[in-house]
Amino acid sequence: MKSLSFRNTTWIDFENPGPDDVVYLQEHFDIHPLAIEEFITPTFRPKATKYHNCLYLTIHIPLFDIVSRTTYPGEIDIVITKDHLITGHQKEIYQFEQFFTNLEKSEGKRRIYMDKTPAHLIYYILEMLLDSCFPRLDHIHKKLEDIEEQVFNNKEKEMVREISIVKRDILNFRRTLKPQRHIIESLTQMESDLLPTDLKPYFQDLVGTNIRLWNALESNKETIESMEETNNSLLSNKLNLTMKVLTIFNAIFMPVTVYSSIMAMSTKVPFDHNDAGFWIHVSIMLLIASFTMLLFKIKKWL
């Protein structure tokens, strides 16, 4: 547990909260039991609930796993009371931890972010978390540019896996981000003494930030899908070309194969006693192959 106070606002943060933390909350705060129960229970769905003496929020922030190279949701549980902001998260969230550390080190930043109410502080936290998504989008955009360059540099096979990885990353990003808009919108509509009226336009601005992120993700989604179609078309074209070449070679040498089979079945091979018999048969085979190629040229099959 970490705690940070400035004037009338106290921020308490729990990392991986357990039974001891529940006891602490029950002993020191008058928080609704349902809010405490939800605070320590992981959930995949964001939530905003108003109780008689507090507000409870569950939000998810898109995080990136370097090993699996994909986005996953990082859950943050939030309880807002008159004087306290209580947060909890199961996994370490770098942006969240960095923001807490910056406030801890700088009285000037505490004066900016913690001077009013816990609701004002949660606005700044949500703003910071949403803004932290833009560098991730820039990284995806850069990856799309690299894939496009490789696709048109004859690296179609190598890009099949890369396209799939980026496509999954964008899908998980969208799946995490989209539900958060409804939570922010609910804050603009919720009537509570814990949410000052002057904050509602700011929460509405966060809705606009979420929409900009969503639009950028939609653009990336359309780009990667178009790139996948282009890559598959190029691969298919190469495969068709390879099959065409193999078919042509097979068609050209099939008459030669028939000729050699007939010679092998004959009891008496023509030119058997001729010293140049082998080269005569080779010449005949070459003539047959040349005639076949000429026929293909006339028919415009080559």
For the domain that residue 67 is a member of, what is the CATH number? 3.30.460.20
Q: Do residues 204 and 246 share a domain?
A: no
- Say whether pLDDT at 249 is over 90: no
Q: Do residues 95 and 54 share a domain?
A: yes
Most confident by average pLDDT, 56-70, 78-92, 210-224, 252-266: 210-224
* CB distance 36 to 25 below 8 Å: yes
Give the residue with greater pLDDT, 11 vs 286: 11
Q: Do residues 206 and 267 share a domain?
A: no
In tens, the pLDDT along 187-209 reads: 888 888 888 888 989 999 999 99
Could you give the strand order of the β-sheet that contains 55-65, starting from the edge strand earlier in sequence?
Answer: 2-6, 9-15, 84-89, 70-80, 55-65, 47-50
Q: Do residues 135 and 8 share a domain?
A: yes
Give the residue with greater pLDDT, 204 vs 28: 204
Q: Do residues 190 and 276 share a domain?
A: no
Percent of the chain beyond pLDDT 70? 96
Domain span including residue 280: 240-298
Q: Do residues 229 and 244 share a domain?
A: no
Q: Do residues 227 and 276 share a domain?
A: no
Q: Do residues 136 and 275 share a domain?
A: no
In tens, the pLDDT along 283-296 reads: 888 888 888 878 77
pLDDT, residue 239, reads: 84
Answer with the one of 237, 255, 288 that is the final residue of a domain: 237
Q: Do residues 175 and 258 share a domain?
A: no
Q: Do residues 203 and 264 share a domain?
A: no
Count how many domains the chain has.
Answer: 2
**E strand or H helix at 189, and its extent?**
helix 180-189
- Say whether pLDDT at 168 is over 70: yes
pLDDT, residue 123, reads: 93
Answer with the one of 220, 237, 254 that is the final residue of a domain: 237
